[in-house]
Structures are given as structure tokens and as C-alpha cells.
Amino acid sequence: MCGAGISRRSCRIPDFRSPGTGLYSQLAKYKLPYPHAVFELGYFRSNPRPFFLLAKELFPGNYLPTPTHFFMKLLHDKGLLLRCFTQARAHAAEAWAANIDSLEHQAGLPAEAVVAAHGNFDSARCIKCRRPHDTQHVRQAVFAGDGNPCYCSCGGLVKPDIVFFGESLPERFWERVPLDFSAADLLIVLGTSLVVHPFAGLIDHVGPQVPRLLVNREVAGEAAGGTLPVGLRQGFNFGAGNYRDALYLGDCDAGVRQLCQLLGWEAELDALIADGRQHFHPPPHTPAGEAGEAAA
């Protein structure tokens, strides 16, 4: 399970709220009624340009996958990754773009290995006639100008399959959760505050004896107050009575590197990172210095 924390700092993806440099600052000329209107379907229909300006900044290819992304590719290569579930949003008032960035796929994970709870740029469709569109069609429109919308032949707007506020989660999410979590024998949770449901509640979908590892800058997802019988506790338990939950406090990249050191996989991880850097060619508009330093 991956949250925005695996990408936001390591990739240096701009945040939304920082004065002057945040992505919302770039949208000031559009006079949004409130910042996260850019991720609401109703506002998108009436004024799509703010979203497409952000799409140009966040489109796949702008940022190099992080060591954490390559760690997931390493798990996949070893036949150990059942599925990677990703989440994008921190809470309703703050929409993080990380994890709609398709960095898992850029790192080499096949589409079948990933379940994007809030969607990503890997597919797109017209919001009017629902016709699917190739992402290259969207890319050509987005990079033709700042805030340039993408249209379907029917005249409707083409939107990447990113879950906007008020939209339902993808069917694939609901299909895979009961199958994958019941089959898992280890759960690794990376870079998420675990406050948005239903994603946050997934940590309780694995079996009661399945080990769970949280790698995060702060403790998240702890059980609510009160003591429940073994196997019935909701959330992580890092205190008394803990028999399966482990915690690493720090950056995700540092956490997965330490795990690889303990497993004897560090050289393999470094090889994947080096290969990813060698084949990374960001578009010319990418801010200087950001892309090359992404996996430092």
C-alpha cells in the first residue's frame, strides 16, 4: 500500500499550497472559487484549463521514479509482489498529485501489478460519450500549450482516468481488494497518513496473523482506544500486545534501502535505479535540476 509520501519529497514534485512555488499558485490567474475545485468534475466541465495546466506539470515522464518505486519493481522481479495498491489524496481539502503520476509503471511494474485507488494518467476517456482515448492523444493536447484542454471527436472533454472528488473509486479496486488481501502473507505500507477511507481500512483486510510493516515519517493508522481480542483489533498496534506490526520512522527511500540491506538485495536495487536513470529522458519543460536529482 503506497501513499503520496513515496513520491512527493523524493521526486520533488511541487506541492499544492506552498506560497509562490505551489501548484495552486500557478492557478491564481484562473481565480478558482477554492483550491481543490480543480479536482471537481462540475468545475472541470465549466473550466477545464486549470486542470490541464496541472496535467502538463504532472504528466508521466516529468519525474524519475524513486528508489521506493524501484524496490517494488525488485519485489515483482523476484515473484514476491502480489499487488501494489496506490492512493493519491491526503484529505478532502488537499489533493496531492503524487501517486496519480504513474511512476510505478515507469519503474517497470506492469499494469496488472498495480491497483490505483484514485486512478492515474495511464488511461483516459471522454466525459461525454465515455469513449476511451490513448494517453498520447491527451499528451499532444496538454503539451500544445499551458492549460490547453483535450477534446473528443464528439466535442466532449477527455479526462485522464483520475478520480475526482465525488467520483467512485475504480471497479478494479473493489474487485481486487477481497482477492489480494486475503491471499497476502505480508503487508508493507509506505508513505501514507492512512486517514482516507476506504483505502486506510485496507490494513485490516489481511489475515490476523499476517505481518504488517509501516514505513512512514510518522506513526499512522494506529488502533483506536480500547483493547480488543487478538485478531479483532482495528488498525496497527505498535504497543502492548503487539505480535505482528513493525514500524520504521523515516523516509520511504531510506526504509526500503535498509530492508534491502538486511535481505542482501542492495546491489540489485542500485542496478535498477541506475538503469532507470540511464533511460530517463524528461521533456524539455521539466524544471532544471529536479529530474536529475529525483533518485539521489
**pLDDT surpassing 80 at residue 63:** no
- State the total domains in the chain: 1
**Chain centroid to CA 160:** 15
Beta strands 119-126; 158-162: pairing state: antiparallel
Spatial distance between the Cα atoms of 56 and 60, rounded to a whole number of angstroms: 9
* Residue 105 annotated to the active site: no
Is residue 228, in this structure, part of any structural domain at all? no
Could you tell me the CATH number of the domain that includes residue 56? 3.40.50.1220
**Dist. CA 205–CA 242, nearest whole Å:** 17
Q: Is the pLDDT of residue 293 over 50?
A: no
- Active-site entry in 118, 205, 279, 285: 118
Which residues are paired to 222 by β-bridges?
Answer: 236
Task: Please indicate, yes or no, if residue 290 is contained in any of the structural domains.
Answer: no
User: Is residue 161 over pLDDT 70?
Assistant: yes
Cα separation of 100 and 280, whole Å? 19
Range of the domain at 136: 4-221+239-279
- Pick the range with the lowest mean pLDDT from 108-112, 153-157, 227-231, 242-246: 227-231
In a domain, 187, yes or no: yes
Distance CA 197, CA 59 (A): 26
CA distances from 19 to 7, 15, 54, 285 (A): 20, 10, 16, 21
How many C-beta atoms lie closer than 10 Å to residue 293's C-beta? 11
% of the chain surpassing 70 pLDDT = 77
Say if 229 falls within a structural domain: no
Cell numbers for 103: 511512476
Check pLDDT > 50 for residue 215: yes
Mean pLDDT, the chain, as a whole number? Answer: 82
Residue 154 in marked binding region:
yes
How does residue 88 score in pLDDT terms, banded at 50, 70 and 90?
low
- Whether residue 263 is contained in a domain is answered as yes
CB distance 61 to 283 below 8 Å: yes
121 or 98: which leads in pLDDT? 121
Whether 136 contacts 124, CB under 8 Å = no
Q: What is the pLDDT of residue 95?
A: 41
Q: Is residue 73 part of a domain?
A: yes
285 in a domain, yes or no? no
- Does some domain include residue 231? no
Residue 104 near residue 74 (C-beta atoms within 8 A): no
pLDDT over 90 percentage in the chain:
47
Is 11 labelled as part of a ligand binding site?
no
126 is in an annotated binding site: yes
94, 96, 97, 101 alpha-carbon torsion, rounded to 10°: -150
**Predicted local confidence at residue 294, as pLDDT:** 38
pTM across the whole model: 0.80
